Amino acid sequence: MEDGLLYYPGCTLKTKASDYEESAKAVMEKLGRPLVEMDDWYCCGAVQSLSTDDIMHQIAPIRTLCCAQEQGETEVVTLCDMCFNVLRRANTRAKENEDDLETMNEFLDEDPDYEGNVETYHLFEILRDMKDEIEKAVKRPLDDLKIAPYYGCMLLRPSEVAIDDTEDPQIMEDMLELLGAEVIENPKRTECCGSYHTVNRSDIVEKRVEDIVGRAVEDGADAIALSCPLCQFNLDYHQRATEFEVPVFYLTELMALAFGLDIGKEIGMKKHRVEPNALLKEKGYME
């Protein structure tokens, strides 16, 4: 694939997080590295199975890597942080443990054997190496916006799959600065949002959201930027239990805004519970 990037969406990017997919596709097109969806892919399973004897739950992500292999590709890019974490960890296990890879391939049965030659990336790792291109693409700097970056867990932990320093990441800060935004230092930026507890223990998530969003507001943030669809849902949806109304953007939505893309036409921002429109109108980014 010459300029394009082989893209693994995962389930949520096609549904609840379609704003993320839409904005990421638009900005990558502008940057000359379009996302090209895989011919075939499977749900990754969302969480990594941590038991040493549980090879079965490594099969779904490995099967997706097999799909990339069968397309003749050696690199796969994900947008979702949870997919990224699961794919990279399963891949690492396959590459570093010959016996485990053999067992995985026995499970794969009718599929071709996985040879361990595919590398997995998160979109931010690609963007980190495109600083010049990003700077050139900015048409409408976000200099009226104060943004608190939020990383959550899956981009940074455990250490062996981290895309940046586990305690003091800078990748999002650097990108927000390129977009012209004022970066609000966020000491809560690597703390867990409550994750899947949103399903059956939402009181826990509400406390996390109160803490994380509350700190961003206290420090003067107009909005939060992130990339994980589950963090986005939790920080956005569960603000309803708090006094806050802070838009929670995918970083690629802010990038689209800075690149001058038309909100409502070229990208939607349709699935935010906290509507970003009021803020964007107030700051002159929307009519």
Partner 1 sequence: MEVKRSEKDREFVDKVEELSGESVNACIRCGTCSAGCPFVKEMDVLPERIFKRVVLGDKEGILEKNTMWICAACYTCSVRCPRDIDIASIMEAVRQIVLRDNVDKVEVEEVENLQDLPQLAVVGCFRKETG
- Interacting residues with partner 1 (CB under 8 A): 10-12, 15-17, 43, 45-54, 57, 80, 82-83, 153, 156-159, 166-167, 190-192, 194-202, 204, 207-208, 229-230, 233, 237
DSSP E strands: which ranges in the chain?
5-8, 35-37, 75-78, 119-122, 146-149, 182-183, 223-226, 248-250
CB of 191 to partner 1, least distance (A): 5
Is the CB of 16 or the CB of 95 nearer to partner 1?
A: 16
Do residues 46 and 40 lie in contact, with contact meaning Cβ atoms separated by under 8 Å?
no
Is the CB of 240 or the CB of 281 nearer to partner 1?
A: 240
CB of 143 to partner 1, least distance (A): 32
Is the CB of 71 or the CB of 166 nearer to partner 1?
A: 166
Sequence-separated (6 or more) residues with CB below 8 Å from residue 68: 6, 8, 38, 74, 75, 76, 118
Tell me whether residue 202 is exposed, middle or buried, using C-beta atoms within 10 angstroms of its C-beta: 0 to 12, 13 to 18, 19 or more.
Answer: middle
Do residues 62 and 114 lie in contact, with contact meaning Cβ atoms separated by under 8 Å?
yes
CB of 137 to partner 1, least distance (A): 29
Closest CA to 118 of 90, 148, 143: 90
Is the CB of 3 or the CB of 54 nearer to partner 1?
A: 54
Is the CB of 175 or the CB of 193 nearer to partner 1?
A: 193
CB of 286 to partner 1, least distance (A): 26
CB of 269 to partner 1, least distance (A): 16
